[in-house]
């Protein structure tokens, strides 16, 4: 089962509950079905920081590795578009972004595109601007927009293409053979060292 299929299954399970309290109760039920965490696993490394309750999470990799054809580091506009295009070309893609938002400056406040010739915009970038225009009920590409609209469209493109995305993580180690990346090590960008 792929990550996307597991995510979709979880979303479907929770979608039957409309009230947040029902979702919370269901989550507690699922937790009660789990085996108790061994005391040695209840350590600072496994503690979820920011939770009001003390919650520990222990993840284990069941397969030896996950392989990708393309790994894009940085969820900027260019990063999302590169990952989207590679995925649509049939490549297995991973997009890693150290923050919680995709779209870089386009989705973080730069809501006006300064360009001399609108006809210079083409390819996936043109598709992005046409989606912006459709959001505002216009037919042509739109070069002025609200940042949250851009972020929503980038997230829509990620969902359509179906590639894996990891937020809140940064690369801390790259292992190569010649020019080929063989593996990477990620770190939680919010809590380095955990």
pLDDT tens-digit map of 103-141: 988 888 776 666 767 777 788 888 898 898 899 998 777
With a cut of 90, say whether residue 157 has pLDDT above it: yes
Assessment of whether the complete model's pTM goes beyond 0.75: no
Cβ within 8 Å of residue 139, ≥6 positions away: 133
Closest C-alpha among 186, 113, 164, 156 to residue 6:
164
Q: Where are the domains of the chain?
A: 3-34, 70-188
Predicted pLDDT at 155: 93
With a cut of 90, say whether residue 152 has pLDDT above it: yes
The tens digit of pLDDT for each residue in 60-82 reads 555 556 788 888 999 999 999 99
Q: Residue 78's CB: how many other CB atoms inside 10 A?
A: 13
The tens digit of pLDDT for each residue in 30-63 reads 777 777 777 887 777 666 665 556 667 665 555 5
Predicted pLDDT at 76: 92
Mean pLDDT of the chain: 81
pLDDT-based confidence at 17, cuts 50/70/90? confident
Domain 70-188: CATH superfamily is: FAD/NAD(P)-binding domain (3.50.50.60)
Give the helix/strand (H/E) hosting 26.
helix 20-33
Residue tagged active-site, from 10, 37, 51, 55: 51
With a cut of 90, say whether residue 156 has pLDDT above it: yes
Predicted pLDDT at 79: 92
Catalytic status, residue 122:
no
pLDDT-based confidence at 95, cuts 50/70/90? very high
With a cut of 90, say whether residue 142 has pLDDT above it: no
Strands (E) located in 40-179 = 70-73, 93-97, 164-167, 169-177
Q: CB–CB of 96/166 below 8 Å?
A: yes
pLDDT-based confidence at 160, cuts 50/70/90? very high
With a cut of 80, say whether residue 26 has pLDDT above it: no
């Amino acid at each position: 089962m792929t990550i996307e299929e597991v995510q979709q299954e979880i979303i479907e399970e929770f979608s039957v509950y409309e009230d947040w309290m029902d979702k919370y109760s269901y989550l507690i039920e699922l937790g009660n079905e789990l085996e108790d965490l061994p005391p040695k696993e209840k350590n600072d490394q496994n503690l979820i920081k920011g939770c009001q309750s003390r919650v520990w999470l222990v993840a284990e990799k069941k397969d030896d590795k996950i392989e990708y054809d393309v790994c894009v580091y940085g969820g900027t506009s260019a990063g999302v578009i590169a990952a989207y295009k590679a995925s649509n070309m049939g490549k297995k893609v991973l997009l890693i972004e150290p923050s919680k938002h995709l779209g870089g400056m386009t989705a973080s406040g730069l809501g006006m595109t300064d360009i001399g010739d609108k006809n210079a915009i083409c390819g996936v970038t043109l598709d992005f601007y046409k989606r912006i225009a459709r959001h505002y009920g216009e037919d042509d590409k739109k070069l002025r927009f609200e940042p949250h609209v851009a972020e929503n469209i980038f997230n829509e493109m990620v969902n359509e293409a179906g590639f894996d995305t990891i937020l809140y993580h940064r690369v801390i180690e790259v292992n190569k053979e010649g020019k080929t990346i063989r593996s990477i090590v990620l770190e939680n960008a919010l809590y380095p060292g955990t």
